[in-house]
Chain A
């Protein structure tokens, strides 16, 4: 009976106006497609062009087609040379240099790395690869440690939405969005990298690229293994604990490939890893027992996107994706005497499709609509857990205006989640909500003033709702409301001063205010010895994000300076009667943090220094002593590439955490401290 009812739900959820919307979008496509047979226009995404010379190779020039309304959104981007110059191995490492970002890292190579933007929480951050969202229906967060920077052209962070003419509804559906744009090859090449790093870390990477008759593609493979058994020391008035991190090893392999042609792009990704999940460093009399848990991951996805323009006035885009994720978590080891002995397997599959259409009746106006549908299924061999299926549909209507320096955008997003399960209490009620967003900006001589408002929620994840002994199917969505006022200024010296060098500069500053309602948290239940997911609490956050970027190029010299600054006050607004908590800062949220990166390049020699400061954070409100100390982190990177005809040989030395401060993101989870990486690369 339950099954029948739920099926009805799903069918109902595909309700009337959705069908109308799909029909409308499909019709629009059919009509325009039949009318315009050939119109292979350049895609809107960036294209790189390289000019070869017989005597010397010129610098790569990035030609970016006119980005619509770029400054109306609050965004930060690391691209091309700057991105590669950072001492980073994963996407998480690059994002920590952005203003407003807090990284949560359990330490070591294998530790989970998630980001939190403007204190909204990791589950409000959507991560998109070439415009298609990476999802995890299970817990809603993406481990950014799994994505390599080597295949990325740009990494961008948008607070609220990116504003393109033709965006899928999913792209409107998160509080903050991280865009990973894969590199489109510009020539045939093959490169090999070998790396040896501290703590018995070995890595090998192969990358092959080709361009053939308008097709571009690459294959990128990487294998890494690390013992991760770094030494740590806790030295204070009350302890002097020394030891080596145990169960912090990782081994992973990653293979990905992409194929592009004009408005078509596709991507295949496979990741396979085994890692230890180290626990907190607590008082023990010996190393006899470790709280061993090990995790195996296998992630696969394949995705494709196609974008086409008709009559110069109609843009159409279709996205599709299939993802299959497997996770195994095991604690059946003799060294583990402290937890239940489990060996659980989770399997999750996702099928996704989106249709987007935009119409530009005049050059200053565009209207667009998109319909997305995602079908997820989660299986797990947990007791009392039945397969859960979720259909998640999104529909957006958006309009953008760009007239004499005035830019405006507005969108209304409708989301509907319907679940279907045999689990004990049945499925949660379908979730059905509209949320708005609006932006306004004015640009005058490179100076933009902007303001935006966005309301969005995150739906409870399948874990939140159905996880054995914790899940609560009565959860409401967690709402966020964001206000932002900002200013942005661009300046560049242009070609005229080619002789004296080229300058460019970007400054932006935004003040913001966020409110989160109905936070979804796991709480112990009043005297029951149990925990459950609950809607509890409200937070209020005010802050300032500022970034300054400068580039100077003269002769064979290149200089870049990237700085970011975050000041914010993030307070609890749950219960006005609770003096200990109300209006007190939220745990783990620093008031002040900043980053400075300097890059100096001469010919093919490059030196980068990155400095990051994160202020004091509380980790509990019980005692003023419960703080995480502020920390300074300095990374340095020196690289040299030697070119002989068409082959290149590179050598790169990185020193991370030069000051050897074993700072913590979570109490008792020490970071590795000073470590070294030596990378050798060879390319043709």
Chain B
């Protein structure tokens, strides 16, 4: 019986393996023009120089974010090169724009790509727009040009879409150097269609910097503090309540430096707290169920653990640099930047958290994108030819950009509440 179960498990792993396709962004070293893509498939690294292999030229300096826009379009924010690069899922380049300097993070509704930027100017179809603080730019995928912008706080970082609104975490990260402003404590809410600022929600927590994961209406936001007196912490933010004007976030005393969303809508996070005063840092791991956490105002829904061997494996890393759950298969990935001069490593765990393998990648591997498994297309009808062509107005997509069979609405998250889907380029909230 035991043997049979092992065989079954092996077969399952093997089968699931065949479905694993992952693009990994290696940031490289600053000003060395060595940002790279790694491509991982079926349990092995295919290439640690994937973009160059496919295109014959290099990606650029310090790529910082990657999102899938549609079945055949992926966007990459290359920070120090000031480029937003569009590629096909096979790695070949489609277009690139440098209209958004100092770009940081991306999100998309399938028709537009929204980019947060620390910069102070942006080239749009209406001419150059200047900002005192940071801004969000909206790129139209029919021509890869910026059609609208919206000024937010200083140094905006994480960006997410919910019900046609953009939620932007402001950091004010240059505060320590610039001295003319303090750390930001706000989340800016922007109407994505008009690109106007609707409101700023003050969290009272400075420097909302880092990875920002989304699980339906919930966001998982990190604050590294100021590294001196103000300790780091994390926030669970409820976009729905924010739109209604209710109390919409709960703070907890652990940083969530690297975080991701599981298939059942929970957040997994790895964090480190550091203070220049004491010179000490404290490592933490968290699993958060946002529904329970918000409902109980932080009384429950948070556990200081990660599934399987993840916790121990992360604790043994030289320099944890990212965590990710494949939204199609539930396989878990993590990266270790090691000593920053050397190559980093990609770790793969089963959905239950058992370590499957460790793969050498490149310098500072920090950002992930899973591609739909090879057989995904047979399960769903193919994505409309191209977002450039306008697309199918009636088609429905889930938050990962996967087209859903007609009549099927996406599964809701782990708790109660509502579901989200994308239709006609807008995110739609589907109440229970």
**A interface residues, Cβ below 8 angstroms from B:** 237-239, 279-286, 288-289, 291, 334, 337-338, 340-342, 382-384, 424-425, 468-469, 471-474, 523-530, 532, 578, 580-581, 587, 619-623, 626, 667-668
- Per-residue 0/1 for B198-227: is the Cβ within 8 Å of any A Cβ (1 yes, 0 no)? 000000000001100000000000001001
User: Which among A283, A525, A530, A626 is the interface contact of B61 at CB below 8 angstroms?
Assistant: A283
B227 and A469: CB pair below 8 A?
yes
Assess A471 versus B177: contact at CB under 8 Å? Given A337-B121, A668-B33: no
Decide yes or no whether B272 CB sits under 8 A from chain A: yes
Closest residue of chain A to B53 (Cβ to Cβ) is: A238
A contacts with B: majority SS? loop
Q: Which residues of B have CB within 8 Å of A619?
A: 32
Q: Are B32 and A667 in contact (CB under 8 A)?
A: yes
Contacting pair B341 A587 (CB below 8 A): yes
Q: Report yes or no: A283 in contact with B342, Cβ–Cβ below 8 A.
A: no
Interface 9-mer from B80-88, B240-248, B351-359, B385-393: B80-88
Query: Which chain A residue shows the least CB distance to B55?
Result: A238
Contacting pair B228 A384 (CB below 8 A): yes
Chain B residues whose C-beta falls within 8 Å of the C-beta of A472 in the assembled complex = 276, 279
- Whether A340 contacts B80 by the Cβ 8 Å rule is no
Measured CA separation A581–B342 after assembly (Å): 7
CA distance A233 to B233 in the complex (A): 47
Q: Is B330 an interface residue (CB 8 A)?
A: no
Closest chain B CB from A232 CB (angstroms): 13
Q: Does B258 contact A (CB under 8 A)?
A: yes
Known: A284-B98, A289-B82, A619-B32. A469 touches B342 (CB 8 A): no
Q: In the bound complex, do residue A620 and residue B363 qualify as a contact, i.e. CB atoms below 8 Å apart?
A: yes
CA–CA, A342 to B78, complex, Å? 23
**Across the interface, which residues of B come within 8 angstroms of A289, CB to CB?**
82, 98, 101
Chain B 364-379: CB-based contact to A (< 8 A → 1; otherwise 0): 0000000000000000
B17 within 8 A of A: no
Q: Which residues in A have their C-beta under 8 angstroms from that of B82?
A: 284-285, 289, 337-338
Known: A238-B52, A425-B276. A580 touches B342 (CB 8 A): yes
Please measure, in the bound complex, the distance between the C-alpha atom of A342 and the C-alpha atom of B178, giving whole angstroms: 5
Contacts of B178 on A, CB cut-off 8 Å?
340-342
Provide the bound-state CA to CA distance between A338 and B318, in Å: 29
Quick check: A525 and B276 within 8 Å, CB to CB? no
Contacts of A667 in B (CB 8 A): 32-34
**Nearest-CB distance from B31 to chain A (Å)?**
3
Asked if A622 and B177 make an inter-chain contact with CB atoms under 8 angstroms apart, the answer reads no
CB pair B56 A238 closer than 8 Å: yes
B276 touches A532 (CB 8 A): yes
Chain B residues 289-327 with CB under 8 Å of chain A are 317-321
How many residues of chain B get a CB closer than 8 Å to chain A's CBs?
69
> Within the assembled complex, what's the spacing in Å between the Cα atoms of A472 and B31?
25
Knowing A383-B176, A620-B29 are in contact, say whether A338-B102 is a contact too (CB < 8 A): yes
Contact partner of B33 among A283, A424, A578, CB < 8 A? A283
A338–B98 CA distance with the chains assembled, in angstroms: 12
Distance between Cα atoms of A290 and B64 in the complex (Å):
19
B150 within 8 A of A: no
Which residues from A are CB-within-8-Å of B278? 425
Q: Tell me whether B139 is interfacial, beta carbon within 8 Å.
A: no
4 tightest A-B contacts by CB?
Answer: A280-B31, A337-B101, A340-B174, A282-B61
Q: Considering the chains assembled together, what is the distance between the CA atoms of A233 and B48 in angstroms? A: 25
Of residues A291, A587, A668, which shows the largest number of chain B Cβ atoms within 10 Å of its Cβ? Answer: A668
CB of B174 within 8 A of CB of A524, answer no
Contacts of B276 in A (CB 8 A): 424-425, 469, 471-472, 532
In the bound assembly, the distance between CA atoms of A424 and B276 in angstroms comes to 9
Contacting pair B58 A239 (CB below 8 A): yes
User: A526 contacts B319, CB within 8 Å?
Assistant: yes
The answer to whether A286 touches B179, judged by C-beta atoms less than 8 angstroms apart, is no
From residue A580, how far is it (CB to closest CB) to chain B in Å? Answer: 5
Query: Does A239 lie within 8 Å of B57, measured CB to CB?
Result: yes
Q: Does B10 contact A (CB under 8 A)?
A: no
B362 touches A622 (CB 8 A): yes
Contacts A425-B276, A526-B283 known; A621 to B83 CB distance under 8 Å? Answer: no
Q: List 7 A-B contacts (CB under 8 A).
A: A239-B58, A283-B33, A337-B120, A341-B178, A523-B340, A528-B257, A532-B274
Give Cα distance in the complex from A424 to B52, angstroms: 46
Residues of A contacting B342 with CB < 8 Å? 578, 580-581, 620-622
Give complex CA distance A468, B226 in Å.
Answer: 11
- Is B106 close to A, CB under 8 A? no
For A239, what are the chain B residues with a Cβ–Cβ distance below 8 Å?
Answer: 57-58
B96 at the interface (CB under 8 A from A): yes
Instruction: Report A-chain residues with C-beta under 8 Å of the C-beta of B80.
Output: 282, 291, 338
Pick the residue among B258, B270, B279, B338 that contacts A580 (CB under 8 A): B338
The CA-CA distance from A527 to B321 in the complex, in Å, is: 6
Q: Which residues of A contact B78 (CB under 8 A)?
A: 283
A469, A526, A587 — most chain B CB neighbours (10 Å)? A526
Would you give the shortest CB distance from A573 to chain B, in whole angstroms? 13
- Measured in the bound complex, the distance between the Cα atoms of B361 and A622 in whole Å is 8
Query: Chain A residues with Cβ under 8 A from B98's Cβ?
Result: 284-286, 288-289
| B343 contacts chain A at the CB level, 8 A cutoff | yes
Q: Known interface pairs A471-B276, A622-B342. Does A280 touch B32 (Cβ–Cβ under 8 Å)? A: yes
* Most-contacted residue by chain B among A342, A587, A623 (CB, 10 A): A623
- Say yes or no: is B337 at the interface (Cβ < 8 Å to chain A): yes
- Residue B142 interfacial (CB < 8 Å): no
Q: Which of B81, B340, B341 contacts A282 (CB 8 A)?
A: B81
Contact A526 B102 (CB under 8 A): no
Residue in A closest to B258 when the chains form the complex, CB atoms: A527
- Chain B residue numbers with a CB within 8 Å of A334 are 120-121
Q: B1 an interface residue at 8 Å Cβ cutoff?
A: no
